[in-house]
Structure 1
Amino acid sequence: MSQSNLKLLALDTSSEGCSAALLVDGQLYDRFELAPRGHTRLLMPMIRQLLADQQLQASDLDALAFACGPGSFTGLRIATGVVQGLAYGLDVPVVPVSSLAAVAADALASPAIAVGHGVAVAFDARMGEVYWGCFEDRDGLPVAVADERVCAPELVSLPNQPEGWCGVGSGLGYRDQMPDAVISRLQGIDENLVPSARHVARLAAEAYRQGRAVPAAQAQPVYLRNTVAWKKLPGR
């Protein structure tokens, strides 16, 4: 199926942001709200409104996507539950998308942030740790150049290539604890970027074309920690 014919619904509740995005025949429509305690209340109305605005029924969708983590335990469970329920009912595949990659995609879409060709993404993982991912720009989309991981800020690192990097995400609030060898290579920093369904949809469309969609049962959250910690959303 070509991108111009794909109808895909993407969801994100992995952080304090709650969002849904609808990709229809190459056009992207989305709803986003910062609402740390409002995911359950907001998500389904967002989905219904997006479909109604484009005069579509859920049965018209070809695929679903969601930010699978890492991120808030509570938030990840919300998106996972909704996307699995819809996928089972509609009998459509699901594309899990890294929350770190979604933020990297956002950075690459903004020349003011993505100074170089590399994006280091850090989320606050609580417990004195960060979720860390490193991506390079390939035709405007982020491609991981190292495994995503959770670690103490003192243990983060950057690959040798590419040479230029920017740092984004709430975990950069710990940059005073990060190695000088990392911080000195960051040509720009933005702590405020959070995952959004808009960029989840962009990445999911490419993954869908590459055959990387999975059945509903395999649409699972990614926590990175071996033992899941109950990381609450702010305000919960």
Structure 2
Amino acid sequence: MNLLAIETSCEHGSIALRCGDSLLERAIEGNAAHSEQVLPLIRVLLAEAGLAVGQLDAVAFGSGPGAFTGLRLACGLAQGLALGAGIGVAPVVSLEALALQEEGDRILVATDARMGEIYHAAYLRSSNGGIHGAPLRTVAAPGCCKPDDFAAPAGHWAGIGAAFGVYEDQLASHLGPRLLSARAQAAPRAREVAALGALVLARGELLAPELAAPLYVRDKVAFTTVERRARGGKA
């Protein structure tokens, strides 16, 4: 299996190339660098693996939720590469890819959505996913809200995502003892996007490139300067 994965939903971007049992990856720091570095780094990884784009079996990308420009970039590149190679695309929820980094069985994901809001989701680790089964089961689909309005599912959770650092006091107070731990430094990575994308490929569930799309969970994707200031964000 040769699968390329792109993850640029936040400022800590990365790409990964899965070739059989081996994995090559590169990190990209800073939102501004994503558009300049992603395609050249893809060429570097393909060259290191001795592969041409036409030898890929699929392209996976972190579909979000996340930064608007980063999601559009990843989706557009995945579509373009897949169209050129005549292969399918695997959109992967970035919050689910992030949840894979947490070893606990009950995982609460919360990332910084800017403008005083968070992106969130909750997952349970599957014990009987089977050969092509999903390692995680979604119990709360991705959403967006203010930290004080976050209604986590019942039970105790291991938290992961930047929001647990940016809104540490608010989330800790809001969730109380139900939050067992929090890894605020973790960000979605292409290696987990590749792992989940490989499952999509194995199940025969790839999308035609033109059908792939970012995952937007905000009521409104773009805001005016006045609206951003009203929400507590910078212009």
Q: Same fold (TM over 0.5)?
A: yes
Question: Where do residues 142-157 of structure 1 align in structure 2 (5 Å cutoff)?
Answer: 142-157=136-151
Aligned partner of residue 147 in structure 1, secondary structure: strand
Which residue of structure 2 lines up, in the alignment, with residue 122 of structure 1?
110
| Structure 1 segments of 4+ aligned residues over 4 angstroms from their partners | none
Which residue of structure 1 lines up, in the alignment, with residue 210 of structure 2?
217
Which residue of structure 2 lines up, in the alignment, with residue 49 of structure 1?
44
**Unaligned segments of structure 1, at least 5 residues:** 1-5, 109-115
Which residue of structure 1 lines up, in the alignment, with residue 157 of structure 2?
165
- 1:171/1:60 CA distance change after superposition, 3 Å: same
Equivalent residues of 1:18, 1:42 under 8 A apart: no
Aligned partner of residue 53 in structure 1, secondary structure: helix
Distance 2:21 2:91 in 1: 20
- Which amino acid in structure 2 is aligned with residue 25 of structure 1? G
Aligned partner of residue 125 in structure 1, secondary structure: strand
- Pick from 108, 116, 134: which aligns with 2:122? 134
- Deviation string 1:179-231 (CA, Å, 9 cap, x unpaired) is 74624212211111111111100111112222321010111011101321359
Equivalent residues of 2:54, 2:84 under 8 A apart: no
- Pick from 16, 23, 28: which aligns with 1:21? 16
- 1:185 equivalent to 2:214? Answer no
Distance 1:35 1:210 in 2: 34
Which residue of structure 2 lines up, in the alignment, with residue 3 of structure 1?
none
Distance 1:142 1:74 in 2: 27
* Count of residue pairs the alignment pairs up: 220
- 1:94 equivalent to 2:89? Answer yes
Percent sequence identity is: 38
Distance 1:98 1:183 in 2: 27
Distance 1:19 1:196 in 2: 6
**Unaligned segments of structure 2, at least 5 residues:** 128-133, 229-233
- Pick from 197, 200, 203: which aligns with 1:207? 200
Distance 1:79 1:230 in 2: 21
Shift of residue 138, structure 1, vs aligned partner = 1.7
Kindly report the root-mean-square deviation, in angstroms, between the aligned alpha carbons of the 2 structures. 2.3
- Which amino acid in structure 1 is aligned with residue 120 of structure 2? W
Which residue of structure 2 lines up, in the alignment, with residue 226 of structure 1?
219
Aligned partner of residue 146 in structure 1, secondary structure: strand
Question: Where do residues 106-117 of structure 1 align in structure 2 (5 Å cutoff)?
Answer: 106-108=101-103, 116-117=104-105
Shift of residue 159, structure 1, vs aligned partner = 2.4
Distance 2:169 2:83 in 1: 46
Relative to the length of structure 1, the TM-score reads 0.86
- Which amino acid in structure 2 is aligned with residue 69 of structure 1? G
